[in-house]
Amino acid sequence: MSDDQKIYMPSQPLEAGNDRYGLLSDFEPGTRTLETGFQIAPPFRPLPVDVVLEKDIAVTLRDGVTTYVDVLRPAGTEKVPVIVAFSPYGKGQGTSPSVMGVFGLVGLDNGIVSGLAKFEGPDPAYWCAHGYAICNPDIRGVANCEGDSVLWDRQEGRDCHDLVEWLAAQEWCSGKVAMSGTSYLAVSQWFTAAEQPPHLAAINPWEGVSDVYRDLVMRGGMPDTGFARQLRDYSYWGKGRKEDILAEAERYPLMTELWENKIPQLDQITVPAYVVASYSNTLHTAGTFRAWRRIGSEEKWLRIHNGQEWPDYYDEANREDLRRFFDHYLKGEDNGWEQTPRVRYSLLDLEGGDQVNIAADEFPPNDVTLTKYYLDGRSRVLTTTAPSDEATASYDVAANPDLVSFVTRFDRETVLVGYPKAHLWVEAAGADDMDLFVLVQKLDAYGTPLQQFTVPNQTAMAHDLTERGASILRYKGSDGRLRVSLRHLDETLSTDAVPVHSFDRVEKLSPGEIAEIEIDLLPVGLEFHPGEQLRFVISGRPLIGPMMPRLVEYVPANNGQHVVHTGGDHASYLQLPVWA
């Protein structure tokens, strides 16, 4: 049924001159050896060992569709495990202007990689030197492959299952296959591992969505499709058709089987998993934590870093850490990996004092208490006791200011680590619906909002890009959003800490109706020193801007006046995970 709901549009071929065309993008089947010291182009890292490049190998999937992959492996006759980088990003794009530009955007030197890696994937220069092969596939519908492209779908899991089993049977392969990579390359791992290919030995999802509806196209029930448009238009270069996810979001704005099939069956994932997350990626954060909570793997590790995924992924110490994980599960090395803390989390200070790699048995840690901070519409403060008197705080959606906020000051060291949520009583005066945006901000002792770059690039241009957007590059706080007519909760998935909306029905507001709603905010790890403050903001417009640079800002479907009710029978509160 979900395939019947899919909508396709023509793809465009990837041709020389395109900014995603790299030095290895030509279709050139064959095998060659890249010798030690080989450098694909001047900015890139030379190879430390001889590497065999098998290019454009045909792999036929279960439905007869032919795809093409590149394999880079250490020279010699020793059988080696292989790591798969599965995404629609061209397998030869490592030297393309777009990939080099992304490194420049975040402040990374292109010299830290060889140019042979797939965008956001493992670098063969490093992994081949340590006894691993890398498989860079072009996937269904991309480049010279047959078939139609799909976007984050269980179809990709089936396709990669077939690729994993094909790789395991190759004469150079030890029979052990893993997956690694960030963003799209992380999402594909959820889908693949859920299909349980017999020779998949371990996965390493490094930040990625786990629910296309809730994380990408309809976060909070709003059709905020800026990044989905960029993904659709600039990532699926091929000769056939590609899925038109924007047309699908317009035709199917509620949860349907189409969207259900874009949620991996996380409970079916049983392989060892080393999951990496951050608090600051408004595209990936919710999905990575959700997947971590729900995957069925008994052997799973979570590391929460304090920056952006690309600098974190290519950091030498982090790569060595990942190699210990893979050496243990793909090579059988008794290296003590199993003694690694199951959770290592970070605490953001936003003033230069971040803490990283704090060990815990789970996330949130055991000694966290969910604490209600009640809104007081009269004094505009947050208090741990509910105001007895009812009051309201309101704004006109077309006015300035078009928001209301509430503040609390901490008189002692206070640490938040876990999942915040807002439980609000709201009213739409002059309208039958509301698009609401909420934000938890840290303020210094003088009331100044604190923010922090997540990338090495902190130039004037980086300031410009992140002033009203590019939230993945500068952390401004923990945010959430909800279209109030879609407030119905999925009782089977919701918990006291993390509300989950069903998004399967529309419940418009009647005049004078005061609606009770819950909004999940992105998980936090945030430290407050004595005198510092927390500000909770409620608005009718986005508060931190689009997630990626230069995306068009979402325009909410709001009019009239938004009224927040507090105290008495309508005791709105912000629930915070307070570490004791």
Q: What mean pLDDT comes out for the span 385-412?
A: 97
| Bond into 401 cis (ω within 30) | yes
Structural contact between residues 417 and 525, judged by C-beta atoms closer than 8 angstroms: yes
The confidence score (pLDDT) of residue 3 equals 83
The confidence score (pLDDT) of residue 140 equals 97
The confidence score (pLDDT) of residue 512 equals 97
pLDDT in tens, 312-331: 999 999 999 999 999 999 99
Q: Give the end-to-end CA distance of the chain in Å, rounded to a whole number.
A: 49
Helix axes 285-294, 184-194, angle to 10 degrees: 20
Amino acid at 411: D
Q: What whole-number distance in Å separates Cα of residue 117 and Cα of residue 87?
A: 12
How confident is the prediction for the chain on average, in pLDDT? Answer: 97
The confidence score (pLDDT) of residue 494 equals 98
**Which three-class secondary structure state does DSSP give residue 569?**
helix
What is the 8-class DSSP label of residue 127? H
Residue 79 has pLDDT above 80, yes or no: yes
Q: What mean pLDDT comes out for the span 21-40?
A: 97
Q: What mean pLDDT comes out for the span 8-35?
A: 96
- For 495, the token pair is 């918990």
Beta strand spans in 326-401 (E): 343-347, 355-360, 368-375, 382-383, 391-396
Q: What whole-number distance in Å separates Cα of residue 166 and Cα of residue 199?
A: 10
Q: What mean pLDDT comes out for the span 427-447?
A: 98
pLDDT in tens, 475-519: 999 999 999 999 999 999 999 999 999 999 999 999 999 999 999
In order of their start, the domains of the chain are 2-269 (3.40.50.1820), 368-579 (2.60.120.260)
Neighbours of 121 (CB within 10 A): 30
The confidence score (pLDDT) of residue 216 equals 97
Structural contact between residues 24 and 37, judged by C-beta atoms closer than 8 angstroms: no
User: 206 in the Ramachandran plot: left (φ > 0), alpha (ψ -120 to 50) or beta?
Assistant: beta
The confidence score (pLDDT) of residue 43 equals 93
The confidence score (pLDDT) of residue 580 equals 73
Q: What whole-number distance in Å separates Cα of residue 91 and Cα of residue 118?
A: 6
Structural contact between residues 114 and 108, judged by C-beta atoms closer than 8 angstroms: no
Residue 1 has pLDDT above 70, yes or no: no
Q: What whole-number distance in Å separates Cα of residue 343 and Cα of residue 362?
A: 6
CA distances from 263 to 212, 216, 268 (A): 7, 12, 12
Q: What mean pLDDT comes out for the span 200-215?
A: 98
The confidence score (pLDDT) of residue 273 equals 98
Residue 351 has pLDDT above 70, yes or no: yes
Q: What mean pLDDT comes out for the span 285-292?
A: 98
Smallest Cα–Cα separation from 231: which of 107, 119, 108? 119
Percent of the residues in the chain that have a pLDDT greater than 90, as a whole number? 98
Neighbours of 217 (CB within 10 A): 26
Structural contact between residues 188 and 155, judged by C-beta atoms closer than 8 angstroms: no
Q: What whole-number distance in Å separates Cα of residue 146 and Cα of residue 158?
A: 15
Q: What whole-number distance in Å separates Cα of residue 415 and Cα of residue 248?
A: 42
Helix axes 184-194, 154-168, angle to 10 degrees: 80
Q: What whole-number distance in Å separates Cα of residue 81 and Cα of residue 175?
A: 7
The confidence score (pLDDT) of residue 550 equals 85
pTM: 0.97
Residue 383 has pLDDT above 90, yes or no: yes
